[in-house]
Amino acid sequence: MTLALTPGLRAALEDWLTGLVALRGRSAATLDAYRTDVTGFLSFLQAHHGGEAGGRSALGRLRTADMRAWMAHERARGLGARSLARALSAVKSFVAWVAERDGFDATAALSVRAPKFNAGLPRPLAVPAAKAMIDRVEAQAGADWVAARDAAVLTLLWGCGLRISEALGLTGEQYPLDQSLVIRGKGGKERLVPVIEPARNAVAAYVALCPRPPEPGAPLFRGVRGGPLGARAIQKAMAEARAALGLPASATPHAMRHSFATHLLDAGGDLRAIQELLGHASLSTTQAYTAVDAARLMEVYAAAHPRAR
């Protein structure tokens, strides 16, 4: 059972979320996930301690046993290790924020370790599979403009390494696409992304067929009813296409972005440059993205290091 939060806890949660936006530029989706995770924890804490006894002051009395009881409760209701680790991270951040303001020691809560899970490497599509995916998505659409739209979106993901949210966030004033785009990614960070000619052509083909011309401030990619195109529509189109092509369930919009990075590296691209194109803060994240193996790294080393030649 989910209990309504006390006014003090609700105010603290909203203040914390507001601070995340102001200081760290967290996205709306991230904030929604954090709100859900922390609300679930606080609701559990209130039930665990009994109504008002589980208010904001209860955070100062948190014990390791309380945290473990919550984690056991989450696992019992079917939450996976990865999701629980994410929820625990959000809860710790919130508790630390309150502790700093209320002046209590949160060591007991912050010392709890997250459950272990296998991160799993991304699974990019091979070049023929990526091409086949775009062709199939285009061929299966019911209307010509929808076919061109879906093909254009996937071409941007694979050809420019955009996240699905970044591609769908393009607006009318950005058309016609130039040879490069300034993309605002996670955390509000901006990066310059080259736009290859096939991507520009694919978007132009969509615009030529779309019943609604590009408008400043309006989404470039439209849904069938004229509103913003949602990621779910592209995910659904890819699910239908991969079933027809016999591709695995990992062939998703995000896999097209993985493929962009991996195929660039396979063609001799520099890992640090690919990091910039993807907008990753850490090079280790890019390395995982590109499915780099030891043999490939040794080839790069042998070709580039002066003592290896």
- Catalytic residue (choose from 163, 200, 222, 242): 163
The ranges of the chain annotated as CATH 1.10.443.10 are 127-254
- Catalytic residue (choose from 56, 200, 254, 263): 254
Query: Closest Cα to residue 56, out of 46, 67, 47?
Result: 46
Between CA 71 and CA 41 the distance in angstroms is: 9
163 is catalytic: yes
280 is catalytic: yes
pLDDT at 192: 82
The CATH class for the domain spanning 7-110 reads: mainly alpha
189 is catalytic: no
CA-atom Rg of the chain in angstroms: 23
Confidence tier at 142 by pLDDT (50, 70, 90): confident
Is 72 exposed, middle or buried, given 0-12, 13-18 or 19+ CB atoms closer than 10 A? exposed
Query: Is a pLDDT exceeding 50 seen at residue 189?
Result: yes
Query: Is a pLDDT exceeding 90 seen at residue 207?
Result: yes
Q: From 1.10.150.120, 1.20.140.10, 3.40.190.10, 1.10.443.10, which CATH number describes the 127-254 domain?
A: 1.10.443.10
What is residue 190's three-state secondary structure? strand
Between CA 243 and CA 136 the distance in angstroms is: 10
Confidence tier at 234 by pLDDT (50, 70, 90): very high
211 versus 191: which is more confidently predicted?
211
The ranges of the chain annotated as CATH 1.10.150 are 7-110
Tell me the average pLDDT of the chain: 82
**H or E segment and range at residue 265:** helix 253-266
Q: Average pLDDT in the 248-274 region?
A: 78
Between CA 264 and CA 63 the distance in angstroms is: 49
Residue partners of 55: CB distance under 8 A and separation at least 6? 6, 8, 9, 46
Between CA 34 and CA 158 the distance in angstroms is: 30
- The pTM score is 0.60
- Catalytic residue (choose from 289, 296, 301, 307): 289
Between CA 12 and CA 268 the distance in angstroms is: 50
Q: Please give the structure tokens belonging to residue 38.
A: 């922390």
Query: Is a pLDDT exceeding 50 seen at residue 10?
Result: yes
Between CA 38 and CA 92 the distance in angstroms is: 9
Query: Is a pLDDT exceeding 60 seen at residue 225?
Result: yes
- Helix (H) and strand (E) counts for the chain? 14, 2
pLDDT at 295: 54
Confidence tier at 81 by pLDDT (50, 70, 90): confident
Query: Is a pLDDT exceeding 60 seen at residue 91?
Result: yes
pLDDT at 1: 43
254 is catalytic: yes
Q: Among 92-101, 188-197, 224-233, which stretch is predicted with the lowest mean pLDDT?
A: 188-197
pLDDT at 181: 82
Q: Average pLDDT in the 211-218 region?
A: 92
- Catalytic residue (choose from 257, 272, 305, 307): 257
Tell me if 63 sits within 8 A of 107, measured CB to CB.
no
- Catalytic residue (choose from 280, 305, 307, 309): 280
